[in-house]
Each structure stands twice: as structure tokens, then as C-alpha cells.
């Protein structure tokens, strides 16, 4: 499993605990990378709403803070998420809880070996009464789509979803049909190659803004999971667990607007570019991060800066988002893989070698 010891920021929001990895304290006197007085004051109420989403999810899911933060960042960026973890680490529970905490249209598709593209996107059905074909919308016509166990379905069906993700529309019989806004896919997959799984095509992985890896829980978290079960927690009944919808499309749209006002200095832009360029020079990689990947890192760092209560992006924000934003956008050389090099270790090397603007 490509698990990484320093996942993205573990917590966000005004009342949040500090992130798991050392992030520099919010500078009182802005350093050279902070635009200073021109930085806008981000909206505290909106940030509170997003912190409330995390609280609701926490009523069902114990720990996994980095993944919860990642999902909130993806909502802020309107990006899709690939959620990876061994069976039983609450991938499905996490996404179901997120849906329950949002006042959005949500649908869930279990990707089975016999699922057809039309089962995802929709298809033309014949109406005998009018003697005409009409389009019956598939489950992609929603705001938040849980694509569960995406690597258990054959490539043709995967492709139909990946196309809808990229184009944000579905074309059936030559007619394009736009998907709702927001349209965010959270796909889950198991990391190990079980029999009967179809790995997602590497070239299409960068349609996911983030790849979040759910680790096995720490002992104290696992104990809490069991304590909740002992006290009667039923993972199938999230309402009974008290998970309530606390944010809707409107709040998300306004928060997104705030994020676009987060400032990024020339130095920090340069840092993002240098990190991505360094991956292209890594001897262990057959494929480095593309410019699209660089724009993704900028977007996720910005959303994290906003969640952390800042109106500007610091190099620490960028560092915190490097692994989840870039780990699936690089391809290892076969020799490197044999030597035990992983995408995570290459990204660590890159982070250690690129000078940080201070
Ligand atoms: N961190 C956690 N917090 C709360 N419950 C948990 C946690 N981890 C595991 N569980 C429990 O384990 C159950 C299994 O989780 P879930 O079905 O979401 O796993 P999954 O990762 O989707 O597994 P699979 O890959 O087999 O689909 C949950 O319903 C819950 O009862
Ligand atoms: Mg599952």
C-alpha cells in the first residue's frame, strides 16, 4: 500500500487541532511570501460551515482526519477524489457520511464486473406509448457520486465514468447532456490487485484531483470504533448516529468564491512549478507531473490555505498537499519499482531537494 507517513493536513477549521505535520504558525508579521495588507479577510462563517461538515462526518467515522480534510478540499475545488485503502478501513462509510453531512444530491454506484456504461451514464429507452426514444438519466446525474470499488468494473464502464468526470457532461446518441453543478465523484478502490480487478488506466488517473490513502487506524482510534459499536452504533443508519446535512450547494459555491480570492505570491507559484519540474527530472520516474498537475497543486494548496484561515498561500500549504495531489500523477520506472522505490519516496526526495522560498 502506498501509504505515506505525513498525510495532508490532519485538521482544519477555526477550532481544529494543528495539522499532523509541522506547518509553520500563521505569521503575525507576514514574511516575504505573504502579500500582507492586500490579503482579503476570509469569511469565518463559511469556514465554520465547512468545519461543521467535518464534525458531522466524525459522528460516524473515527479518525481518518487527513482523508476528511482532503474530501473537503476537493469539494472546495470541485475536484474528484480517488480513495484507496485495504478492505474495512471505512472508505464506504466515510463517503456515505460525507453525503449525509451535505445537503446535495448524492448517488452511489457499486461497480460490479457486469455493470454496463449505460448503467452509469444513462441510456435511451423506447417509450411504446409515444413510439419515441427518450433519455433516462443514469446515476451520474447528481452532485456527489460515490463510485464504490471502481476497479472491479471492466475498462469500458470505467471509461464512461472517467469521460463524464472530465467533460462534466454525458453524450448519448450525439446529444450532450450537462451534469449538475457541483458534480464531484468520490471513487473507492482497494490497493492490492485482487483477482478480477481492473486497474484504472494510468493516463486517466490525473482526472482525480486528489488521491487519498486511508491507513489502518491507530490503536486508540480502533478502540473508539469498537466502543461505538459496543454502544449500539449502526453504520447502516447514519441518521441514528446523528449525522445531519449542514452545508448545501450555496455554501459550497460561496466558499469556492472565497478560495479564488486567496492570494499566491510569485515565489510560491515558482515553488509549485519547481516541485513539479523536479519530478520530471527524477531518475526513478518514467512520467513526471504535467502542467495540469501543477495547476491542481496550486488549487488544493489554496483551498487548504483558506481552510486554515489565511488569505494567502505559504510554502507549507504546498508541501502539505504534495503527496495527495501528485502521488497518482507520476509513474515509476520498472527498475525503480523493483528496487522498492515508491511514488511517495520520490515525492519526499523532491520535497527535500527543491529550495523553499522563505
Ligand atoms: N475509522 C473508522 N471509524 C468508524 N468505523 C470504522 C472505521 N474503520 C472501520 N470501521 C467499521 O468498519 C466497517 C467497514 O467499513 P467500510 O465498509 O466503510 O470499509 P471499506 O473500506 O469500504 O471496505 P471495502 O474495501 O471492503 O469496501 C464500518 O462500517 C465501520 O463499522
Ligand atoms: Mg467499501
Domain boundaries, the chain: 48-247, 262-358
d(CA 216, CA 222): 9
Ligand 1: residue of 89, 108, 234, 240 to mutate (most ligand atoms within 8 A of CB) is 89
146 lines ligand 1 (CB under 6 A): no
Does domain 262-358 fall under CATH 1.10.8.80? My reply is yes
> Ligand 1: which atom is nearest the Cα of residue 63?
1
Q: How far is the CA of 21 from the centre of ligand 1 (A)?
A: 25
Q: Is the CB of 235 under 6 A from ligand 1?
A: yes
Alpha carbons 130 and 136: distance in angstroms, whole number: 15
Q: Give the number of whichever ligand sits closest to the CA of residue 221.
A: 1
Ion ligand 2, residue ranges at CB < 5 A: 91-92
Assign 122 a pLDDT band (cuts: 50, 70, 90): very high
Over the chain, what is the mean pLDDT? 87
Give the model's pLDDT for residue 113: 92
Q: Give residue 192's pLDDT.
A: 66
Give 110 Cα–ligand 2 centroid separation in angstroms. Answer: 9
What percentage of residues in the chain have a pLDDT greater than 90? Answer: 74
Share of the chain above pLDDT 70, in %: 87
* The predicted structure's pLDDT at residue 199: 85
Per mean pLDDT, which range of 33-47, 135-149, 158-172 is the poorest? Answer: 33-47
Region 58-80 average pLDDT = 94
233 lines ligand 1 (CB under 6 A): no
Q: Does residue 91 line the site of ligand 1, with CB under 6 A?
A: yes
> How many whole angstroms from 7 Cα to the centroid of ligand 1?
19
Of the candidates 70, 64, 54, 55, the residue with the CA atom closest to the CA atom of residue 90: 64
pLDDT of residue 224: 95
For ligand 1, atom 29, which residue shows the shortest CA distance? 235
Q: Give me the pLDDT at residue 24, please.
A: 37
Does residue 128 contact residue 91 with C-beta atoms inside 8 Å?
no
CATH number of 48-247, picked from 3.40.640.10, 3.30.70.2740, 1.10.1050.10, 3.40.50.300: 3.40.50.300
CA of 38 to the centre of ligand 1 (A): 45
pLDDT of residue 204: 80
- Tell me the pairing of strands 106-110 and 208-213: unpaired
Average confidence (pLDDT) over 320-334 = 96
pTM of the predicted structure, to 2 decimals? 0.86
pLDDT at residue number 89: 93
190 lines ligand 1 (CB under 6 A): yes
Mean per-residue pLDDT, 95-107: 92
- Among 34-43, 47-56, 73-82, 278-287, where is mean pLDDT lowest? 34-43
Amino acid at each position: 500500500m502506498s501509504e505515506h507517513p505525513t498525510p495532508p493536513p490532519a485538521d482544519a477549521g477555526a477550532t481544529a487541532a494543528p495539522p499532523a505535520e509541522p506547518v509553520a504558525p500563521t505569521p503575525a508579521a507576514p514574511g516575504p511570501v505573504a502579500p500582507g495588507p492586500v490579503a482579503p479577510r476570509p469569511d469565518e462563517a463559511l469556514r465554520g460551515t465547512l468545519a461543521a461538515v467535518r464534525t458531522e462526518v466524525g459522528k460516524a467515522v473515527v479518525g481518518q482526519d487527513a482523508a476528511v480534510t482532503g474530501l473537503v478540499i476537493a469539494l472546495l475545488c470541485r475536484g474528484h477524489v480517488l480513495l484507496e485503502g485495504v478492505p474495512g478501513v471505512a472508505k464506504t462509510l466515510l463517503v456515505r457520511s460525507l453525503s449525509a453531512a451535505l445537503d446535495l444530491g448524492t448517488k452511489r454506484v457499486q461497480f460490479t464486473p457486469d455493470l454496463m456504461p449505460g448503467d452509469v451514464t444513462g441510456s435511451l429507452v423506447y417509450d411504446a406509448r409515444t413510439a419515441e426514444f427518450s433519455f433516462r438519466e443514469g446515476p451520474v446525474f447528481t452532485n456527489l457520486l460515490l463510485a464504490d470499488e471502481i476497479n472491479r468494473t471492466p475498462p469500458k464502464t470505467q471509461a464512461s465514468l472517467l469521460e463524464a468526470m472530465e467533460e462534466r457532461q454525458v453524450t448519448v446518441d450525439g446529444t450532450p447532456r450537462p451534469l449538475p453543478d457541483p458534480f464531484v465523484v468520490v471513487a473507492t478502490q482497494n490497493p492490492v490487485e485482487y483477482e478480477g480487478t481492473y486497474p484504472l488506466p494510468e493516463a486517466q488517473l490525473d482526472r482525480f484531483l486528489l488521491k487519498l490513502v486511508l491507513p489502518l487506524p491507530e490503536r486508540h482510534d480502533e478502540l473508539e470504533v469498537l466502543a461505538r459499536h459496543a454502544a449500539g452504533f449502526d453504520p447502516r443508519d447514519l441518521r441514528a448516529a446523528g449525522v445531519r446535512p449542514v452545508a448545501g450547494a450555496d455554501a459550497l459555491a460561496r466558499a469556492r468564491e472565497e478560495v479564488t480570492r486567496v492570494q499566491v505570491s510569485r515565489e510560491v507559484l515558482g515553488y509549485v512549478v519547481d516541485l513539479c519540474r523536479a519530478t520530471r527530472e527524477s531518475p526513478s520516474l518514467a512520467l513526471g507531473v504535467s502542467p495540469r498537475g501543477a495547476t491542481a497543486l496550486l488549487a488544493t494548496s489554496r483551498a487548504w490555505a483558506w481552510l486554515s484561515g489565511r488569505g494567502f498561500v505559504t510554502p507549507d500549504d504546498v508541501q502539505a498537499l504534495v503527496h495527495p495531489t501528485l502521488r497518482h500523477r507520476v509513474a515509476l520506472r520498472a527498475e525503480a519499482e523493483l528496487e522498492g522505490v515508491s511514488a511517495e519516496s520520490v515525492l519526499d526526495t523532491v520535497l527535500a531537494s527543491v529550495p523553499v522560498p522563505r
